[in-house]
Chain A
Amino acid sequence: MSFAKLTASALAITALSATAGVARDQVSVAGSSTVLPYASIVAEAFGENFDYPTPVIESGGSSAGLKKFCEGVGPNTIDIANASRQIRGGEVEACAANGVTEIMEVRIGYDGIVFASQIAGPEFTAFTEEQWYEALAAEHFKDGELVPNAYTKWSEVDASLPDVEISAYIPGTKHGTREVFEEKVILAGCEETGAYQAMLDAGVDEDTAEGKCMAVRTDGVSVDIDGDYTETLARIGANPNGVGVFGLAFYENNTATLKVATMSGVAPSTETISSGEYPVSRPLFFYVKKAHMGEIDGLKEFVEFFVSDAVAGPSGPLAQYGLVSDPELSKTQEAVANEVTMGTGS
């Protein structure tokens, strides 16, 4: 009967597959969606220039990528985890528990975080950290007590800002960008306004004060975007008064529809970020399993290619896309060449 034959062949496929899952030809990468575009640009150029197959780059977020990275050593686990933040102590421990002990940390460059609004919208051209803190903090510290944020218009926060409703689109809590936004904008603003010091003076301990500073209001004035920057862009497109948080690279590809604001008087650009003048930026990393070097064909070549001057340098394709290249790239190159792992080198 033909059904019997079909079933038999189907079972044969399954059996075959169980044995074939050992070898892997291509480098396997997973992690941050912020690093994904850079990694895919490098992977594409790597596939074009080397005889190795193009690496496969999965997205899914820094935490998900590092979790996958820490699952163990062997061809069935990924070789590289992309991250828009540094690996955490807990993650290093989880890695060690599964036998992933020698991890190489590679910093590829810096990514700026910019504040942009509709090009035809109100004049959002200059912000300061204080204004963002005042506008978005859940509670303000006034006269010795915490009172809920009462601002509804930007002009109430600062007379120089447009007289329109506050409506901000900020990255959701699962994004690495949110952490940077809270620390480098909201917390910095809290400290600059003196609210942080005032809380300490009033006898609040440091952790609580920091937590109160960074708590973002949840009354609908600020909207958490759990998707990508494309979602933020769509929201901004529908709301002329909206201000959104974007990555510098994303903004640079959409300058025809977005208008960017300065932060404390500094306009975001690759130059101001690499010089450190523009305050809101963060380093981007990837993590490599040293145990896979030499085991997976092309892994070492890919990592070296990624940090080479022609790729990650100031005139390379990554900078062209919007990465702020690392002034200390040569150190990274050296560390990669010597396969320096975390905790031993640097």
Chain B
Amino acid sequence: MTDASANTPATPRVKTSLLELGERTKKRNAAEARFKLYGMMAVGTGVAALLLLLISILSQGLPAFTQTFIKVNITLDESVLDPSGNRDPDEISKVLTFSYDPIINDSLKGLALELSAQHSEVTADVLQDMISAEAKGRLRADVIANPDLIGQTIEYEFLANGRIDGYMKGRVTRETAELDGNVTPLQLDVADAMIVEEKLEKRFNWAFITAPDASELRPEAAGLGVALMGSAYMMAIVFCLALPIGVAASIYLEEFAPKNWITDIIEVNISNLAAVPSIVFGILGLAIFINYMGLPNSAPIVGGLVLTLMTLPTIIISTRASLKAVPPSIRDAALGVGASKMQAIFHHVLPLAAPGILTGTIIGLAQALGETAPLLLIGMVAFVNNYPESIFDPATALPVQVYNFTQRSDPAFVERASGAIIVLLVFLFCMNMIAIILRRRFERRW
């Protein structure tokens, strides 16, 4: 009775071979294969959704980076612009842009005559409607800056009207022009003739990135300049405020604070704050920064402060996680050789946690960059045409500009909205890239 197996009647042992798979092994392998398939399908769905989004945005938005320009010779008529002839800047500035309309019209008569050889109905009015309304503003600014231009004939390159630009980009066709009150098929024919004569061309348009927003009458002139500056100011404010405050709070909570119910409550509330809808921070910003502290409406300083509050929990949570990830042996070793607690943290723990902290901060900043809801309440969802000279001047932000563009009635704003999304995505991509590079370069593993 020593060996149980020897006595029991020989139950036929299933012969298994490594080369031949048993029933259960087959089942387990099948489950694994199925799971892999599910995983691949999940990844595939995600990638497909992303591709669809990117393709739709890129196909709609890339045309926004090019713009059609028209070359015309403008004669700056002295009798209209400076009747007294003394080139007094005060008098010249009394001539409003409305008076520049006839000047452009007169200057176009020659070109109209030239083109009427091919298209008999072409008049200066037809040509003037092809040029952006922005032209007169530019002429007036030039004349005021340099009154000596008056009386001269100068070659200008103006933006083409949004519809002509749309024709060059395939958005406007002869069929739609037929129905469209803002463009005629004749103007499209003229545009074709002007291409041949090299008076009209489509090329890359830096103004889309640098110019301020424009009204609905001149979609071709609208740009992202003010929004980019506003976003840059706000990101700088968030970085300068959220990083030091967030890191200081996390170091204290992680390394110095006693573990009691007060710190527990603080900890729970920080996690809660991270999940609070961003509009709540906007309400807070309106009540405290604008109504109580009297900060100006629509200013990046208020936006920056609000976004700082919003980003702080993210930074605190990620900083605490990276501080926790530094092994206690490093602290112990530092303390063991006689460093003070503060020295141990700032000389040893913090440098090792820095890549994690920076990654968290950049991800927090990227989140803040894409935020619109809180800005709505502090007046940054607005039409702002002047560049902000300081953080106290009115400005908008990139996502706000996307929202503004999508609300405009002119179809030309659709491509500009997608173009603005592309710029925003490029910024987010760069920021996330920096976060990854920092992590790869400086991360230490134990």
Contacts and interface: CB of A to CB of B under 8 A. Distances in A.
B181 interface: yes
A228 B410 CA distance: 13
B407 A33 contact: yes
A21 B298 contact: no
Interface residues of A, number: 56
Given A3-B244, A24-B296, A57-B382, A37 B216 contact: yes
Contact of A310 (B93, B98, B290, B385): B98
A30 B379 contact: yes
A43 B383 contact: yes
A58 interface: yes
Contact of A56 (B218, B305, B382): B382
Contacts of B187: none
B383 A56 contact: yes
Given A10-B245, A230-B406, A43 B215 contact: yes
A254 B217 contact: no
Given A6-B240, A37-B216, A48 B97 contact: yes
Interface string B80-96: 00000000000001001
A249 interface: yes
A26 B293 contact: no
B301 interface: yes
B243 A59 contact: no
Interface stretch (A12-20, A195-203, A210-218, A284-292): A12-20
Secondary structure call for the B interface: loop
A320 B176 CA distance: 20
A59 B381 contact: yes
Interface residues of B, number: 56
B320 interface: no
B180 interface: yes
Nearest to B378: A58
B416 interface: no
B409 A253 contact: yes
Contacts of A44: 214-215, 217-218, 385
A202 B125 CA distance: 62
Contact of B411 (A7, A17, A249, A253): A253
A21 B217 contact: no
B386 interface: yes
B322 to A, nearest CB: 15
A13 to B, nearest CB: 7
Contacts of B305: 14
Interface in A18-74: 18, 20-22, 24-26, 28, 30, 33, 36-37, 39-41, 43-45, 47-49, 51, 53-54, 56-60
A30 B244 CA distance: 36
A78 interface: yes
B215 to A, nearest CB: 4
A9 interface: yes
Contacts of A253: 182, 216, 409-411
Contacts of A257: 176, 411
Contacts of B391: 13, 17
A6 B246 CA distance: 12
Nearest to B99: A310
Interface in B367-403: 376, 379, 381-386, 391-394
Given A30-B379, A45-B97, A119-B179, A13 B294 contact: no
B297 interface: yes
A14 B177 CA distance: 54
B353 interface: no
B137 A40 contact: no
A1 interface: yes
Contacts of A255: 179-182
A58 B290 contact: no
A250 interface: yes
Given A255-B181, A256-B179, A317 B133 contact: yes
Contact of A7 (B214, B218, B244, B294): B244
B409 A249 contact: yes
Contacts of B295: 17-18, 20-21
Nearest to A119: B179
B217 A10 contact: no
A22 B245 CA distance: 27
Interface in A116-168: 119
Q: When A and B form their complex, which 3 residue pairs have the shortest distance between CB atoms, in order from nearest?
A: A54-B385, A256-B176, A57-B383
17 contacts: A6-B240, A20-B295, A33-B407, A36-B383, A37-B215, A39-B383, A45-B97, A48-B97, A58-B297, A58-B298, A59-B407, A229-B409, A252-B181, A255-B182, A257-B411, A317-B133, A321-B217
Interface of A: 1, 3, 6-7, 9-10, 13-14, 17-18, 20-22, 24-26, 28, 30, 33, 36-37, 39-41, 43-45, 47-49, 51, 53-54, 56-60, 76, 78, 119, 228-230, 249-250, 252-257, 310, 317, 320-321
Given A58-B381, A256-B172, A310-B96, 4 more contacts: A6-B240, A41-B216, A56-B297, A59-B407
